[in-house]
Structure 1
Amino acid sequence: MSSARRRLPGWARTAARRTADAVLGPVLGSVAGGRRTDHVAITFDDGPEPGTTPGLLALLARRGVHCTFFLLVRQAEEHPELVRAIGDGGHEIALHGIDHRPLTSLRHGDAVRMLHEARARLEAVAGRPVTRYRPPYGKQTPASWLAARRAGLEVVVWSADADDWVDRPATQVAAIAAENLRGGGVLLLHERVEPGPGANR
């Protein structure tokens, strides 16, 4: 611990951390997706979902496209056959959380423990390593980002959102995605939609 930090009283350290969280939180984990600007990364959140995942996997196979699926442990444990199908299709399996609650309100140590548990449980279902994590709603702070890194996870957010969680025609969703996405970017899509942060659960 630095001598400057030791001199700060506890309330001042807390205030400084909260200020840093508010200022830096929105930019940590923001990525350009890839090193090649002639490619984009397509990602799906909140699955797997029996009514959506099989058809989605069939479409991706026909098109020869591989994606990253940010799965919820709760869903994965309910539908392990879909998790295996995602992996067998050559897609990356990544973590979106045990459920869809953000970690930003947890103490750092609790967030680290929860992410370790979530990663281990998802790896047990998937039968393969899980190395990436997307925070629910993209909500994070430097403290929660550090917790993910301590759990051995790379934090990935997105550069383009298709707003597919809003009820609108598929053609309109596709147009929004195309308008917002640039080469090297990361597109956010959903297999299923969790309630918003203010919804009753």
Structure 2
Amino acid sequence: MLGEMIEIGASIAAFAGAAAGGYSYASLAPWSTLFGGALTAPSNPVSGPRQIALTFDDGPNPRMTPQLLDLLEKNKIKATFFLIGSYATQQKELARRIHAAGHAIGDHTWTHPNLSRTGAAKTREELSRTKDAIEQLLGAPVTLFRPPFGARQPATFRIARELGLTPVTWNIIGNDWKAESSEYITARINRQIARNDRQGNATNLVLHDGSHRAQGMDRSFTIEAVRRLIASSTDRHFVTLDAWL
């Protein structure tokens, strides 16, 4: 009897561990659909250039975003910016400049919480407050939403869709927030773009022009990596995420 109880207890523990691991995977993996589907990236067109969607999270950042906008304008490239709502209201003219330049703008919550740990009411407040503030600021609808850290739970994407927001994740992330050089970011990006090419997929790339920890963070490594990516991508077509809706 004791042996059977030990075996049952071990089985329960193993099941609980697997369930916890599955929940964690579903809450963070950008390609997981267990908690609902999200826009990642379509297949590349059979004919024509391969596509890259440059996306930037955690802005607007008065120290770095203007430099990034200058670089994109010089190369006639449009990108997608997921703005933190509280930052956008602090940097109104900069948010308007992003919009006026023709870039797509998405909702990245008001305070950048981990939405896999927030209640439904808090999640709705974070998304709706940001959407309303940016729409009032720009006079244009906001239809894209990226959860901070990619984190979500079963209600997250449902709430986003109820607010008219399309959830977005990614299929490449540059890890630029912790990079010690632009070379590191560039090598990581190139390696993952090559993987997407082999699989026939377009690229939805996450980089950061700001930081949720504080305004004014240095993202010069990111900007240099973007410069190098553009220079090496003459045979590719840069798109905003709304082109894939």
Please tell me the TM-score bracket, short chain as reference.
Answer: 0.7 to 0.9
Could you tell me how far apart the structure 2 residues matched to 1:132 and 1:21 are?
24
Q: Residue 95 of structure 1 corresponds to which residue in structure 2?
A: 107
Decide whether the 8 Å contact of 1:71 with 1:95 is kept in 2: yes
- The question of 1:188 aligning with 2:206 is answered yes
1:191/1:152 Cα in 2 relative to 1: closer, same or farther (>3 Å)? same
Contact 1:21 1:142 in 2 (8 A): no
Q: Which shifted more, 43-52 or 136-145?
A: 136-145
Measured against aligned partners, the alpha-carbon deviations of 1:66-91 in whole angstroms (never above 9, x if no partner) come to: 10000001110000111111011110
The answer to which structure has the higher helix fraction is: 2
- Secondary structure of the 2:123 match is helix
Q: Partner residue of 1:36?
A: 44
Unmatched tracts of structure 2, length 5 or more:
1-18, 214-245
CA contact (8 A) 1:45 1:191 kept: yes
- Name the % identity: 30
Going from structure 1 to structure 2, the CA distance change for 1:48 and 1:165 (only over 3 Å counts) comes to: same
Question: Is the 2:179–2:185 Cα contact (8 Å) retained in structure 1?
Answer: no
- Supply the RMSD in Å over aligned alpha carbons: 2.2
Letter in 1 for 2:148: P
Match of 1:76 in 2: 88
Other structure's SS at 1:50 match: coil
CA distance, structure 1, for counterparts of residue 203 and residue 43 of structure 2: 10
SS in 1 for 2:130: helix
Question: TM-score, normalization: structure 1?
Answer: 0.80
| Structure 1 alignment gaps of length 5 or more | 1-17, 196-201
Moved more, 186-195 or 65-74: 186-195
The whole-number CA distance in structure 2 between the counterparts of 1:110 and 1:166 is 28
**Are the equivalent residues in 2 in contact too, given 1:96–1:136 (CA < 8 A)?**
yes
Q: Which moved more, 1:108-117 or 1:97-106?
A: 108-117
Where in structure 1 do 4 or more consecutive aligned residues deviate above 4 Å?
Answer: 18-23
In the alignment of these two chains, the number of paired residues is 179
Q: Which residue of 2 aligns with 1:142?
A: 154
Q: Give 1:1-201 correspondences, 5 Å limit.
A: 22=24, 24-25=26-27, 26=29, 27-28=32-33, 29-37=37-45, 38-181=50-193, 182=196, 183-195=201-213
**Deviation at 1:121?**
1.0
| CA distance in structure 2 between the aligned counterparts of 1:137 and 1:62, rounded to whole angstroms | 30
Give TM-score, length-normalised by structure 2: 0.67
AA of the residue aligned to 2:133:
R
| 1:114 CA displacement | 3.3
Q: Offset of 1:21 from its aligned partner?
A: 5.1
